[in-house]
Amino acid sequence: MTEGLALIAPWLIAAGVLFFMAGALGLWRFPDVYSRLHALTKADNLGLGLLCLGLACQAASVSAALKILLVWGLVLVASSIGATLMASTALARGLRPRTRRGSRDS
Amino acid sequence: MTPPSPANHQPPPPPRGGSDAQAPQRTTTGDPVSVVAWAAVRLSARRLAGLALLWWVLTEGSAWAWGVPVILITALAMPLSGLSRLHLPACLALCPVALWLALRGGVQVALLACRPRLDLHSAVIDHRWSCLPEGPGRLFMASLINLIPGTLTVRLAADRLVVHVLHLTPATTRDLAVLERRIARLHADQKEID
């Protein structure tokens, strides 16, 4: 069991780093603040989740593993609320989202 | 000018002991019944178990001589939240769904970012509230939307949610409606939602 977890841990961490890199690429390439927030909230959260999962697999005890996963949960909550706050502030300051089919589809 | 007469004092409020649905306020009179009820609501098994689990995780299973008083004081001092009224099986059912959505969301954004030609169909759509009542449920949904594939809450209004969609597909609005029904099911005291 422990050997199996130790075997998959590096793969999880490597996958997490890939998602972090994809998130950074999105931050660089996406056209406006709203799309960039997508890159930060989704790709980076998934990257951190995989990283934490990989580290939790290598943890010495169950409680230590849960502590690492707790970090991920707290970051999820913080980044999700932070993204909405940034997006609503940007909209209130008059930054229009760059859309292909007009400004507002419903 | 008519100064208030010194004999005109208010009668003390009746004690509110025995009600478990609402948190009894601590009265300055120190009525033992209301104090016991006040403490009993805060020291429920669910709160204590949750705090004990948190202490166990944070300290990696040691320092219980500190932990027990800290847990008791925290349970007494922590304000009551609406969490205890949530429907536990519905919460457990939501967890894998949320994880799956977060996984799909991350993969989708990563694939879009790595495409050689950036081809986004961004849009801002309105999601009208259909079954979720005003309150923490809507805040929860507004936060959860940021994790699911391609959606970002831009504004939380009384009648709708303004959502920025990174890559609009016909399934997006349907997914939002499904998610709203799932979150509405978390509240056990709510009537059955189809």
Mutate to test the interface with A, among B154, B161, B176 (most CBs of A within 10 A): B154
pLDDT score, position B186: 77
Q: What mean pLDDT value characterizes chain B?
A: 76
Residue A12 has pLDDT above 90, yes or no: yes
Long-range contacts of B6-9 (CB under 8 A, 24+ apart): none
Taking the C-alpha atoms of residue B132 and residue B55, their distance in angstroms, rounded to an integer, is: 34
Domain locations in chain B as residue ranges: 43-80, 84-184
Longest C-alpha distance within chain A, in Å? Answer: 55
Q: Please, are residues B78 and B43 in contact by the beta-carbon 8 Å criterion?
A: no
CA distance B175 to chain A (A): 15
Is B149's CB within 8 Å of A97's CB? no
Residue A20 has pLDDT above 90, yes or no: yes
Residues in chain B: 194
Average pLDDT over residues A25-45: 88
* A23 contacts on B by Cβ (under 8 Å): 109-110, 113
Locate B105 and state its tokens.
């969301």
pLDDT score, position B16: 42
Residue of A nearest to B121 (CA): A100
Mutate to test the interface with B, among A28, A37, A38, A75 (most CBs of B within 10 A): A38
Contacts of B139 (CB under 8 A, 6+ apart): B156
pLDDT score, position B174: 85
Residue A17 has pLDDT above 90, yes or no: yes
Residue A51 has pLDDT above 70, yes or no: yes
User: Up-side HSE of residue B7: CA atoms within 13 Å toward CB?
Assistant: 0
- pLDDT interval class at A50 (50, 70, 90): very high
B21-35, B51-65, B84-98, B155-169: least confidently modelled range: B21-35
Is B113's CB within 8 Å of A81's CB? no
Is B105's CB within 8 Å of A37's CB? no
Is B143's CB within 8 Å of A77's CB? yes
CB burial of residue B180 (10 Å; 0-12, 13-18, 19+) = buried
Q: Please, are residues A61 and B60 in contact by the beta-carbon 8 Å criterion?
A: yes
pLDDT score, position B115: 84
Residue of B nearest to A50 (CA): B103
* B154 contacts on A by Cβ (under 8 Å): 34, 84, 87-88, 91, 97
